[in-house]
Chain A
Amino acid sequence: MAAAGASGKTYSFKAVLLGEGCVGKTSLVLRYCENKFNDKHITTLQASFLNKKLNITGKRVNLAIWDTAGQERFHALGPIYYRDSNGAILVYDVTDEDSFQKVKNWVKELRKMLGNDICLCIVGNKIDLEKERHVSVEEAESYAESVGAKHYYTSAKLNKGIEELFLDLCKRMMETAQAEERMKGNGASQSTSNRRGVQIVDDEPQAAPAGGCCSSG
């Protein structure tokens, strides 16, 4: 999963974009990546896969955003897209109660399949249509809190809340990755693997140590 490294290296994160068709997932990422396309990628002029390089508190971050097809018929393909994700952005349309229900289903599935390793963002999009809101602020926010997710409001149309959403997600993914690094650091050191030469595993206690049968002769 996470990838990244010590101070000098770059963090690489994958965030998957989930939500019903028509909630505005595509417009959301397009807004975010506007004018910042990386011409190294062949298909960057599209919105299904986007890659963004960031600098957060002096650390380089490479964010890959994976869009998914939101129509119900593609739901079963979810796992192949969200596997190994560090974060998930679950988008619903504030004017559409059904789309919020879909988000709830995704949350359940993600927690079941990936546990707490993944940072969840629940995003109420289209707040420019406030008058037609069908999902209440209280309901959405308390639900997010109850499942350990953070809630955001955005409008792709007005370019509102989008930058904050992605920046916040990246910071959270960095915290998770750093915590994981610390865990690893405390574990057994793997420095022994740097020895040159080939080792034959040997569990007989009297066998020659380090190098064993290989180093003699």
Chain B
Amino acid sequence: GTKDGVEADEEEDYGVGLETDLEMRLRQSSKSQRKRISVSLGGGSLILPKALKGRFQKVSGMLSSLVTPERRIIKKITELSQDRNSYFGSLVQDYIGFVQENRGCHTSGMDFLQTLRQFMTQMKAYLCQSSELDPPLESLIPEDQIDQVLEKAMHKSVLKPLKSVIQGILHDFQVNSGAWQQLKENLALAKTKRPQELGVDGAVLPDAASIDKIRQKFLNMRKMYSPEKKVSLLLRVCKLIYSVMQDNSGRMYGADDFLPMLTYVVAQCDVPQLDTEVEYMMELLDPSLLQGEGGYYLTSAYGAMALIKNFQEEQAARVLSSEARNTLHQWHRRRTAQRLAPSVNDFQNYLHVALQVDTGCTAKTLLVNPYTTTEEVCSLCAQKLKIQEPEQYALFLVTTETRQQLAPDTHPQRIKAELYSRPRTHTFHFLYRKVTDLNLCIPADGQNGVSSV
């Protein structure tokens, strides 16, 4: 199609809140209709003719049927992910909390993204096996669609709330390693090169207006949290590039022509943030989609960025080769890891603990595995808070009715699992604070006798 054709079918969907918006609109409209009916019926002054009433019901029935089972499930899972009283919710919230509070615990952006990907994959496996979803997934959607619906639900439950944190972490890694500065310089240099110097040969070049349009699309990509939506925007960019190259000639272009052109376009657009966008998509896209068209053009975008990043180097080929090899190795590792993985165990290792000290109360998510004892958790808390007299503090299990000090040799993670496995989960949390303040019944042999809780 023509450039205009491409522009016409572009929708301004950033993968942010669109579904919610639609749902809200539907819910509002059906609610207001119901209200109107009940007011008129109940008010007495205006009796709605029966026929009209029937029509209203039909309309609202139609609206609610627009909310597909898929949408309903995604909504349900998202809500469950925010409910700390569910096991799934506690896993997700603890993980989110951990990421927010421990920005520095990863070795690289790729390492961080791979952990995120693994978390989502394992949570999907958990949801498939768990009985927390009621009714079960199989009863609502065909089996072959379950995986993709769960994938969307994980994007919404995990990637959406963490969007700005992830962006921040990735950017920090880039800045701290010097890669950001290097990338900006290389992009500026590549931008000055003639197309031929980048390997472009023959095809029609995009004009300034097209470059502008593409730059805008790359910038819009940053507003999305869904890796799939980002990829489909990238595909629209590629389609636009192809249609410019063809210029209505009908000629088909292979990679020999397309890759250099894409590199030229990326250089002209000069959007250094595209690098972390590509990394984000590469690592977080559902691995089963990496083999398809999206995976192919994502790979090409990665290649174009890699060429630009190594542009200055005289020995570009050598450097690039070792980098690409390293990447390949990483991917290999990920693939094998995924094959062996599906287990939730790794992500059961977070514990949300409320910390109360003289100056106030905070909460932290700690890395606590099933074998970690209460004693070890206490020393972890003391370390985090820089407590001077750790022997005066202890870990408590707090429920709506009770507060129970945990013995040093107990295992908080097992207690947590125990509690969640009960037929009715009671609200509870772990609290780290001074012992003396709480033990009102035991006469304290000193200073803190009368303090209240």
Contact = CB atoms under 8 A, between A and B. Distances in A.
Interface of A: 1, 3, 12, 14, 17, 21-22, 25-26, 29-30, 41-43, 45-49, 51, 64, 66-71, 73-81, 83-84, 113, 193-202, 213-217
Given A42-B236, A200-B417, A217-B422, A77 B303 contact: yes
Nearest to A204: B371
Interface stretch (B11-19, B155-163, B324-332, B356-364): B324-332
A214 B252 CA distance: 60
B235 interface: yes
A102 to B, nearest CB: 13
B414 interface: yes
B306 A77 contact: yes
A21 B293 CA distance: 22
A201 B414 CA distance: 10
A33 to B, nearest CB: 10
B419 to A, nearest CB: 8
Contacts of A48: 253-255, 258-259, 296, 300
A21 B199 CA distance: 11
A194 B342 CA distance: 11
Interface residues of B, number: 58
Interface string B388-431: 00000000000000000000000001100110111000000000
A198 B127 CA distance: 10
Interface string B236-268: 101100100000000011111011100000000
Contact of B417 (A14, A70, A113, A214): A214
Contact of B199 (A3, A71, A198, A199): A71
A43 B421 contact: no
B256 A69 contact: yes
B296 A64 contact: yes
Contacts of B293: 41-43, 49, 51, 64
A37 B290 CA distance: 20
Given A43-B242, A215-B421, A113 B307 contact: no
A154 to B, nearest CB: 16
Nearest to A30: B252
Contacts of A49: 293, 296-297
Given A43-B239, A70-B255, A213-B418, 13 more contacts: A26-B255, A41-B293, A42-B239, A48-B300, A51-B292, A66-B299, A69-B255, A73-B199, A76-B317, A197-B131, A198-B344, A200-B348, A213-B414
A42 B320 contact: no
B320 A217 contact: no
A53 B125 CA distance: 30
A196 B130 contact: yes
B314 to A, nearest CB: 13
A202 B342 contact: no
A43 B231 CA distance: 13
Contact of A196 (B129, B239, B254): B129
A68 B255 CA distance: 5
Interface string B280-308: 00000000101111001101101100110
A52 B418 CA distance: 51
Contacts of A17: 255
B421 A80 contact: no
Contact of A76 (B297, B300, B324, B344): B324
B180 interface: no
B306 to A, nearest CB: 7
B421 A69 contact: no
A213 B235 contact: no
| Smallest CB-CB A-B distances: 10 pairs | A26-B254, A76-B320, A67-B255, A49-B296, A214-B421, A69-B259, A79-B328, A76-B321, A47-B254, A77-B303
A75 B325 CA distance: 12
Interface string B73-113: 00000000000000100000000000000000000000000
A83 B331 contact: yes
Given A76-B317, A79-B328, A214-B421, A195 B242 contact: no
A216 B421 CA distance: 7
